[in-house]
Amino acid sequence: MLQGDEGIGGRARGLRRAMSAPEITLWQVLRRRPGGYKFRRQHPSGPYIADFYCHEARLVVEVDSEAHGRGDRPARDEARDRWFAHRGLITLRIAAIDIRKNIEGVTGHILATAANRHLGEE
């Protein structure tokens, strides 16, 4: 299991208390272990904190707001995704608006990705 760098645990706890509305909506689904997959929220991983993490599928799920397309965010997100990939994880980026508009479709996409990863197809 991925662990966070020293001192990042307190920051992750703070982020759990300050989740965005789309993150809360998605967490309400993922916390029920859909498809039998256990997800953790705001999981510390090295220098990063994954929005959601499924160890069994080696899957990181990131909820991206509009801000992820501005400024230096795309480059920072790419570096973060590479860091996870280097450790054998795949990052699935979900637009916050998609969670608001189609939580069932988002959940299906996450579970299909998890199943493919778990079965070793990706």
Q: Which residue has the higher pLDDT, 4 or 118?
A: 118
Q: What is the 3-state secondary structure (H, E, C) of 57-116?
A: CCEEEEEECHHHHCCCHHHHHHHHHHHHHHCCCEEEEEEHHHHHHCHHHHHHHHHHHHHH
Residue with the two structure tokens 């703070």: 14
3-state DSSP assignment of residue 31: coil
Distances (CA, A) of 9 to 47, 73, 81, 82, 106: 10, 23, 20, 22, 28
Which CATH fold topology does 8-117 show?
Answer: Endonuclease; Chain A (3.40.960)
Q: Name the pTM for this structure.
A: 0.85
Question: 43, 15 in Cβ contact below 8 A?
Answer: no
**Model confidence pLDDT, tens digit, residues 63-115:** 998 665 557 788 999 999 999 999 999 999 999 999 999 999 999 999 999 99
pLDDT-derived band of residue 46, with 50, 70 and 90 as boundaries?
Answer: confident
